[in-house]
Structure 1
C-alpha cells in the first residue's frame, strides 16, 4: 500500500508544478517615431504628425458682458467682413444709456444757467456794481459747470457705445472654426464666443522633439503629406518654432507654411504628416 502511495505522489508532482507556473503577461507595442536614414552620413528623415490650421486664428468676444440673446452662425460656416455673428440682451444697456442721457441734459442746463450768470456778473462788474471777487466766483462756477457737462457727455457716449458693443461682428472674412457659447448663457467681457480662421494662408501645426531641436531652423524646407492623400507630397517650410518647450510633452510647437499652390488642396482640421530631414552631413 505504501508503494502505491509513493507512485501516486510522483504522478501528482508534475501536475502541481504545471498549475503553479505563472502565465506570461503579453507585452504591448509602444508607438515610437521612426527615422529613416537618407544615405548621407548622419542625415535622417523624421515624420511628424500635425493638423492643418489657419495662419490667423482670432478669438472673437464681446467687449461687454451680458446674456447671449442669439447666435447667428455656427461652427463650419463661412462669414464675410462685418457680418453679425451674435447679439447680447441690450435692455440693461439701453436703460443705462437713457440714464446717462438724462444726466447729460441736466448738466447742459446747469451750464447754460452758469453761462448766463457769468455774463450778468460781467455786466455788473463793468459798471462797478459788484466786486471783482464776485465775478471771479462766477467764473469758477462756469468752469465747474463746463467740466460737469463734459463728464456727463463722456458718460453718455460710453453708455451709448456699450449698446453697440452688444453686437458681435466678423472683423474679416473667414470660417468659424469653433463655437464656445450657447444662446441664453451669461458671458463675461472678453470671453471667447467663436474662434474664426481667417481666409488666406494655411499651415500645419506640429511638435518637434526636444532632443533634436537644434537640427531644425526657421525657413527649413519640408514636405507635407495629407493622411487622405497618401503618396502626394506638398512643399512647405518651417515658419516658426516656439522659444520654449511644452512643460508636459517636452516638445517645441512649430508651424509649417504651405506653398500657395497647396491652398486649394488642404482643408482646415485635416491630419497630415510633415517630413523633415535633419541631422548633420558627414
Structure 2
C-alpha cells in the first residue's frame, strides 16, 4: 500500500517542480534561423537566343541552262576563287545548236551579198531609167530584209555561244562552298540550285525569334553576341534583317544579326548566342533558392518586420538566369525574403533573420 502511494506521489512532485520552475507558463518553441535577403535589381533584363555564324552574302549558284551534269569539281567546305569552275553540263546539245546557228549566219551573209549586188545593179539601172521605180523598191526591200536577217542571226549566234559558256558553272566571287545539291549524272533545270556559296567578307549570326515575341523586336535594335569559342567576350551588334513571315514548320521568324565591329573572330558555322536587352523598367530579382511553387503558382516567403513571422507571397517571375530569377510582380525592394530552406517553412512561422554569415539582421526597409 505504501509502495503504491509512493509511486503516485513521485510523478506528481516532479510535475509540480517543473511547473514551479516555469512560473506556470508553457515553454515557447525556439525561433528557427532563416537566411534573408532583399530583392535586387536584375543585373540585365535580357533574353538569349542561340544562333550560327553565317556569311552575310550566301548566293545560291545555278546553271543558266538545263542539262546533264557530267563533272562536279568542288566539294562542300572547299574554298574557291572568283571565276573558278565548279561543275559542267554535257556540252553536246549546246555545241550542236551553236554549229547550227553558225551555219545560219553563213547563209544570211551569202544572201546579203546577193541582194546587195542586185540592189547596186538596180540602182544603176534606175539612174538610167531602164527599170521602173516599183522594181527598184522591191529590190531595196529585199536588201534591207537581208541586212536585218543577218543582224538577227548574228544575235542568235551570240546567244548560242553564251549558252555554250553557260555549260560551265563558275564562282561569282571568292568564298567557301557551304552546300552542294547535285551529283554527277543528275539532270538539272535552268535556275535549279547546285551550290550555295558563303562569300568572303562580313559575318553575321542567324537566329530565330519565337512567334509570340516577334512584335518586341525591330531592325536596327542593339544586341550583344557571345561566340562559343570566346565565352569571356561579348561583341556588340544589331538586328540587320528580320523575316516578315514565320517558318511554316518551326513557326519562328528568322533574323540576321550583324556585328558592329569590322574585326570579329567569327568563323563560318560557329555557335553563338545573341542577347537582346528588354525595354522598360528593370525588374527586381531574388536568388533561385528563394522561389518555390505549388500548383503552378510561384511564391516566396516574406518575413514580417514587426513580428518576424513568415508570409507566403505569390509572385510572377521571368526567365531564369544562372543563379537568380527576375520577379515581375509581387515584391517590393523593401521586402525581406527567405533565401534558403524554403521547402520546410510554413505560414505564420516565427523565424530569426540572419545573413549569409549567420549574423542577426534587423528587418529595416531600404532607404
Q: TM-score, normalised by structure 1?
A: 0.80
Q: Secondary structure at the match of 2:47?
A: strand
Q: CA deviation at 1:107?
A: 0.8
Task: Write the distance in 2 (CA, Å) between the matches of 1:205 and 1:186.
Answer: 32
Aligned to 1:277: 277
More relative contact order in 1 or in 2 (CA 8 Å, sep 6+)?
Answer: 1
Q: Distance in 1 between matches of 2:249 and 2:168?
A: 39
Q: 1:143-162 counterparts in 2 under 5 A?
A: 143-162=144-163
Task: Supply the distance in 2 between the matched residues of 1:142 and 1:175 (Cα, whole angstroms).
Answer: 55
Higher deviation after alignment, 124-133 or 209-218: 209-218
- Aligned-residue offset at 1:229: 4.1
Does the 8 A contact of 2:180 with 2:195 survive in 1?
A: yes
Q: How does 1:96-135 map to 2 (within 5 A)?
A: 96-135=97-136
The alignment partner of 1:260 has SS state of coil
CA contact (8 A) 2:68 2:188 kept: yes
What's the counterpart of residue 267 of structure 2? 267
- The answer to whether the 8 Å contact 1:221/1:235 transfers is yes
- The residue number in structure 2 matching 1:164 is 165
Q: CA separation in 1, counterparts of 2:194 and 2:162?
A: 20
Query: How big is the shift at 1:221?
Result: 2.3
Which string of whole-angstrom CA distances, capped at 9 and with x for unpartnered residues, describes residues 131-181 of structure 1? Answer: 111111101111111121111111111111110111111111111101111
Q: Which moved more, 1:240-249 or 1:130-139?
A: 240-249
Give the Cα–Cα distance (whole angstroms) in 1 for the partners of residues 181 and 40 of structure 2. Answer: 45
Q: Which has the higher helix share?
A: 1
Distance in 1 (alpha carbons) for counterparts of 2:221 and 2:40 = 17
Deviations 1:210-259 (A, max 9, x none): 32333322222222223344444333221122233334433322111124
The structure with more radius of gyration: 2
- Residue by residue over 1:66-96, the C-alpha shift from the partner in whole angstroms, topping out at 9 and shown as x without a partner, is 1111111111011111111111111111111
Aligned pairs for 1:1-282 within 5 A:
39=41, 44-260=45-261, 263=264, 265-281=265-281
Contact 1:38 1:45 in 2 (8 A): no
Unaligned segments of structure 2, at least 5 residues = 1-38, 283-367
Aligned length: 244
Q: 1:210 to 1:44 in 2, by over 3 A?
A: farther
CA distance in 1, matches of 2:40, 2:212: 19
The C-alpha deviation readout for 1:34-86, integer Å capped at 9, x for no partner, is xxx99369x73111111111110000111111111111111101111111111
For the residues of structure 2 that align with 1:38 and 1:237, how far apart are their CA atoms?
Answer: 29
- Alignment-derived partner of residue 360 in structure 2: none
CA distance in 1, matches of 2:40, 2:190: 53
Query: Contact (CA 8 Å) 1:201, 1:260: kept in 2 or not?
Result: no
Alignment TM-score, normalising by the size of structure 2 = 0.62
Classify the secondary structure of the residue corresponding to 1:49. Answer: strand
Contact 1:234 1:262 in 2 (8 A): no
Q: Counterpart in 1 of 2:17?
A: none
Hey, what's the Cα distance between the residues in 2 that align with 1:261 and 1:147?
55
Aligned-pair Cα RMSD in Å: 2.1
- Structure 1 unaligned runs (5+)? 1-36
